[in-house]
Each structure stands twice: as structure tokens, then as C-alpha cells.
Amino acid sequence: MTRRSDIALRATCATRHNYSHFSAWRAWRMYHGHGVPGPKDEGFMTMLTRLERWKAQGTISPEQHAYLSGLSRGEPFSLFLELNVLLYAGVLAFVAGLGWTVTTWSQQLGDVLVLSVLSTILAANFWYCFSRGPAWSPIETPAPNPIFDYVLYLGSLVWSLELAYIENRFHVLSGQWDLYLLATAVFYFFLAYRFDNRFVLSLALSSLAGWFGLTISHWPAHQDAAYREYALLYCVLVGAGGAVLQRLGMKPHFFGTYLNVVANILFWALLSGVFNPQGYGVWCLALFIACCASLAWGLARRQFAFVVYAAVYGYVGVSSLFLRSFTDETAVLFYFVVSGVAMLVVLVQIGRRFGRKA
């Protein structure tokens, strides 16, 4: 057993002394087969019965049995995820309110007061992170305490807010937003790698995408060549950067985030090329290559999100090619029936060979 499970076992033993009489009685009844009856079925065995049997067989130790039985009954019951969601929602609501207040009342409050408040929050957050943060390590480093990641996330969002305010009010860089975004992205990358924080890494990647002119709000309106080129350049730079950092052993667990972001932007960019009325041949070829690569990567690494990317983006690309040639509704519907069934057959085969486990 690992140290982690050992700690958990001790925690359970400590809880056992704190159980109410009712819980102890209920647990005793479960252990001795007097528990609430489950559904009737031949061969039916609840997890608790199985654990009892495995203990009797000697496959698991009595300590493991006690601990795992507790987990099966929800004792102790972990609120880890709920508390994290609460923290995230709290930070987001706070920043939204802060932004709204600053936008609405900046004239009445005055620049000095607004900037003082924002700078104080920012300084407090970063002081907390730099004073409490663990020593830097290239491998995955757990946060020193559960709220640490959210303090850093809050600081990062307030940084964006303050920069936006300064530029809007003082036009320091004469509207050169791209420089702000680039500086912000660099700063976020530094924070993400310094404190091992995925929230901030995602912020860095989206800020960098912003610098490349890739905000989603602008994307569907103009599928022009400029966006596509920027998107491809972004994919090459970020993908290569992520791969190099992984090879160097610098936070290699971040590589999945890089790949997912790059894959989605790449496929959108290629699809926008396929949708072009002219000169789409090369984009079709590129989409085909990307789909093959994504499929191969997904199957080899058992990362089925990439199989889904290949299937969905590839299908959209092929369908757009077909639909530009046929306008007859019978042919179009026939295509969807045949292609849908074909995709099902292929995916079922993939599922049978590779996809049993998530």
C-alpha cells in the first residue's frame, strides 16, 4: 500500500472512533449481512459482499477491507470536487462583479481609486503566491494548500482587468492590444510553469491565441485567409513549444493541454480552408493528414478525444465536399444515411479493438 492510502486508512480509523452509534450499528449490520436488502437476482452481489468475500479469500487485507468498505458506503465522504467548484465559482463571480463595477463607476470613483484597489488585490494575490508557493520543480508539483491555485487564478484575472483598464483610460500603447496580449501570455506562461497551474496555462494559451487574432467572437464572421494563417502559425508554435518542453521534462503533464488546444484550433483552421469555394484541394489533403495523425495518436496513446476529433472534423470536411457537389435532397439524405452507418461501423470496430476503457 502506498503512503497515501496509509494516511487515508489512519484517517478512517480515526473516523471510526467518531462514528455516531447509529452509523456504527448500521455498519455492523452491513458487515453481518443484515443490511438493507438489494435487488433480488441470482448471482447478485453488492460491492460490500464482494469485499467481504475477497477478505475471506485473503486477496485483500482486513485493513484494506475496512477502508474500501467505508469508501463503498461513502464513509468518509469526500467533498473535494464540490469545494473546488465553489471556489472557482466564487473567484469568477468576484472578478465579474469587479469588472462590472469598474466599467460602470470608473468616472465617479476616479482612476486613482480604481487602480489602487486593483493593484492592491493584485499585489496581495501575488505576494501570497510567491511567499507560500513551493520551490520550483520541473515535475508535477502539488499546490501547498487547496486555495492556492484559486488565489493565483484570481491574481491572473485581476491582472488582465487592470491592463484593460489602463489601456482604455490612458492609451499607453496607443491601442496596441496585441502587445498587451503578448506580454500577458508570456506572464501567464511564467506563472503556470512556476506554480504548476493548469488554469493559468489555459489562460496563457488563450491569451496567445488572442495575440494571434483568434478570439472566438471574431472567428465565424470572417473566415478569411488571414485568420487561417495565424491559426496555423499558432498551432505550429504552440505544438512545437509544448513538445519541446515535454522532451526537456519541463512539466510534461501539461502536454495534454497543449495538444488538445492545438488539435481543435488546427481542425477549425483546416475546415475553414475546406469550406473555401476555390483552392480547397490542399486544405482537404491537409485535413485528411491531420485526421489520420489524430486517429493514430488517439489509438496509440488511448486518448480517445483525438479519435473523436478525427471522426467529427473529418466527417464535417468530407460532408462539405459532398454537399457542394449535390443539391438534390434525396442524394443528400442518402449520403447522410450511408455515411452515418459507415461511420458507425468503423467506430464500433475501433471501440471493439481499442475503446473498452476510457
Partner 1 sequence: MRLYSVSSEETLRARKLLTDWVGEGFLSKAQYQLLEQETVSELRTTNIFLRLVLFLFTLISVGAAAGLFYVVARPSEQTAGVFLLIFAAVCYAVAEAAVSQARLYRYGIEEALAVCSVVFLCVGMQVTFFSTRFYSPKPDAAECVVPAAGVVLSLWIWRRLGYSYAFLAAMIFVVFVPGYWTSSLAAQHLIAAVFYAIGLAGVIAVRSRHRFDYLDETYSLVEAFLWLGIYLTINLQLSSLNLHGLWWGSTRAASEFARPFYWTTWVLIWCLPPIVLVRGIRQKDRFVMAVGAIMAVLTLVSDKPYLGWKRHTWDPMLLGILLTGAAVFLRRWLARGPGGIRHGFTAARLSGKDKNWMSVGSTVAGLLSPQPPAPQPRSPDFRFGGGQTGGGGAGGDF
Binding of residue 47 to partner 1 (CB under 8 A): yes
Mask for 333-352, x = binds partner 1 (CB under 8 A): xxxxx--xx-xx--xx-xx-
CB under 8 A: which stretch of 65-73, 107-115, 232-240, 287-295 binds partner 1?
65-73
| Binding of partner 1 by 67 (CB under 8 A) | yes
251, 141 Cβ separation under 8 angstroms: no
Nearer to partner 1, 35 or 288 (CB): 35
Please name which of 300, 297, 164, 275 lies closest in space to residue 222, comparing C-alpha atoms.
275
Task: Name the region of 279 (left: φ>0; alpha: ψ -120 to 50; beta: rest).
Answer: left
Among 31, 75, 117, 243, binds partner 1 (CB under 8 A): 75
Q: Which of these, 114, 124, 212, 201, lies nearest to 161 by C-alpha position?
A: 114
Q: Tell which positions 275-304 bind partner 1, by CB under 8 A.
A: 275-277, 304
Q: Which is nearer to partner 1, 112 or 337 (CB)?
A: 337
Euclidean distance between CA atoms 80 and 284, whole angstroms: 45
Chain positions 303 to 322 lying near partner 1, rule: CB under 8 A, are 304-305, 307-308, 311-312, 315
Q: Which amino acid is at 1?
A: M
Spatial contact of 320 and 332, defined as CB atoms under 8 Å apart: no
- Taking CB under 8 A as the binding criterion, the range among 43-51, 112-120, 127-135, 237-245 that sits at the site for partner 1 is 43-51
User: What's the one-letter identity of residue 143?
Assistant: A
**By CB under 8 A, is residue 104 in contact with partner 1?**
yes
CA nearest to 15, candidates 64, 77, 59: 77
Interface region with partner 1, contact rule CB under 8 A, candidates 129-137, 172-180, 243-251, 289-297: 172-180
Residues 6+ apart with CB under 8 A from 99: 161
Sole window of 93-101, 130-138, 234-242, 243-251 interacting with partner 1 (rule: CB under 8 A): 93-101
Check residue 78 for interaction with partner 1 (CB under 8 A).
Answer: yes
179-238 residues near partner 1, rule: CB under 8 A: 180-181, 184, 197-203, 205-207, 209-211, 213-215, 218, 222-227, 230
Instruction: Give dist(CA 22, CA 72) in Å, integer.
Output: 18
CB of 288 to partner 1, least distance (A): 18
Considering the complex, state which of residue 50 and residue 171 has its C-beta at the smaller distance from partner 1. 50
Size of the site for partner 1 (CB under 8 A): 144
> Which is nearest to 70 in space by CA: 39, 22, 20, 30?
30
Which amino acid type is present at position 210? G
Q: Provide the minimum distance between the beta carbon of 317 and partner 1 in the complex, in angstroms, as a whole number.
A: 15
Least CB distance to partner 1 at residue 28 (A): 14
Tell me the C-alpha distance between 188 and 86, whole Å.
23
Rounded Cα distance, 97 and 101, in Å? 6
Contact 179, 140 (CB under 8 A): no
> What is the spatial distance between Cα 197 and Cα 150, in angstroms, rounded to a whole number?
9
Q: Does 249 bind partner 1 (CB under 8 A)?
A: no
Piece of 98-106, 126-134, 238-246, 283-291 that binds partner 1 (CB under 8 A): 98-106
> Which one of the spans 96-104, 107-115, 122-130, 244-252 is the region binding partner 1 (CB under 8 A)?
96-104
Task: Pick one of 52, 55, 91, 133: the residue that binds partner 1 (CB under 8 A).
Answer: 91
22-41 binders of partner 1 (CB under 8 A): 23, 30, 35-41
b/e sequence 211-222, b meaning 16+ C-beta within 10 Å: bbbbeeeebeee
Q: Which of residues 118-147 bind partner 1 (CB under 8 A)?
A: 146-147
**If binding is defined by CB under 8 A, does position 324 make contact with partner 1?**
yes
- Reference 227, options 275, 187, 168, 182; nearest CA is 275
**Among the listed residues 108, 249, 353, 358, the single contact to partner 1 using CB under 8 A:** 358
Query: What is the C-alpha separation between 268 and 284, in angstroms, rounded?
Result: 12
